[in-house]
Amino acid sequence: MSYTDLSPGSFAIVGVTGLMGAQVKEFHTKTVGRGQTGSLALLAKQKEKVLIFLTAAVLVLFFLAPTASASVVITPSGDPGRTPSNVFDYSNITVTSNSATYSAQSDIRDIFGGSFSTLEAPGRTIFADRPGQLTTYDVKFTTNSAVSLAGYSLFLEEDGPGSVNRSATNFQFLVNGQLVSNVAIAGSGQSYSVKFGSDAISVSDSFAPTSANTFEAIFTSNIGYANGIRVLGFQGVAGSPAAQSGNPEPSTISLALLAVLAFAAFYRRRIVR
């Protein structure tokens, strides 16, 4: 069983399209309503109103289309082991800080392809328990040099079918201090096996290639008694630096969208007058 989450850009486009439809409907109602001919001046104003919203929609599509993150995909999986193509391999990174693990036998480097843990088995990291509480666990790390990153794959495992112990409800990933991915994995009290058909899953996301060397992974636990999250691996997907030049930053997109909405609101007010 797989689960796909539409990107925020897709929802924005759907929202603007719906708004366009509402404005066009209003235009037709006011200009060709039963028994109403309307003046030329009113007709011109209504046409201007529709044109403004069409322009706004085109601008939103222009800015969002090149940068909309690909859909998040969550599928049943297992331990990925150590992968040569992983730009987050433990030999290529330095963990600068991390939330406490379950014990000294659970090594944080095993998130990044290591086999140092002696708790349970090598190749997995378990965070410290905070029984019955939604707890946030944080790992900050840097790469030895800047890498071009286009996505990631995160591998998680709960205690067993139907158990919420060791499971996560949310994952956030920051690149150079900017949030690039925020994934709602499962609801509070909901297990992987119920939602995805497996107690071990992979969470993958992709985004416009970004050159960076500072990263942060934030995990939110479930409410199980043994709620320290179990992580089997975290792999970075390399991207092509050449693909960066045509894609504006997320902050640029946000500002452009706000500008378009402000422009539409201003002219709408003028027309109503």
pLDDT digits (tens, 9 = 90+) for 206-236: 999 999 999 999 999 999 999 999 999 999 9
Residue 87 has pLDDT above 90, yes or no: yes
**3-class secondary structure, 48:** helix
**pLDDT, tens digit, 9 for 90 and up, residues 100-159:** 999 999 999 999 999 999 999 999 999 999 998 899 999 999 999 999 999 999 999 999
The two counts, helices (H) then strands (E), for the chain are 4, 9
pLDDT above 80 for 203:
yes
CA torsion through residues 122, 127, 130, 132, sign? negative
Comparing 24 with 267, the larger pLDDT belongs to 267
- Average of pLDDT values for 183-208? 96
- In the three-class reduction of DSSP (H, G, I as helix; E, B as strand; rest coil), residue 59 is classed as helix
Using pLDDT thresholds of 50, 70 and 90, give the confidence band for residue 240: confident
pLDDT class of 162 with cuts at 50, 70, 90: confident
This prediction has a pTM of 0.68
Q: From CA 98, how far away is CA 269, in angstroms rounded? A: 51
Res. 98 pLDDT band, cuts 50 70 90:
very high
> What mean pLDDT comes out for the span 75-91?
95
CA 198/CA 157 separation, integer angstroms: 9
Cα dihedral 164→170→174→177 (10° resolution) = -110
The answer on pLDDT for 260 being more than 60 is: no
Output 76 or 15, whichever has higher pLDDT: 76
163/251: higher pLDDT: 163
State the angle between helix axes of 250-272 and 40-64 in degrees (0 to 180), rounded to the nearest 10: 170
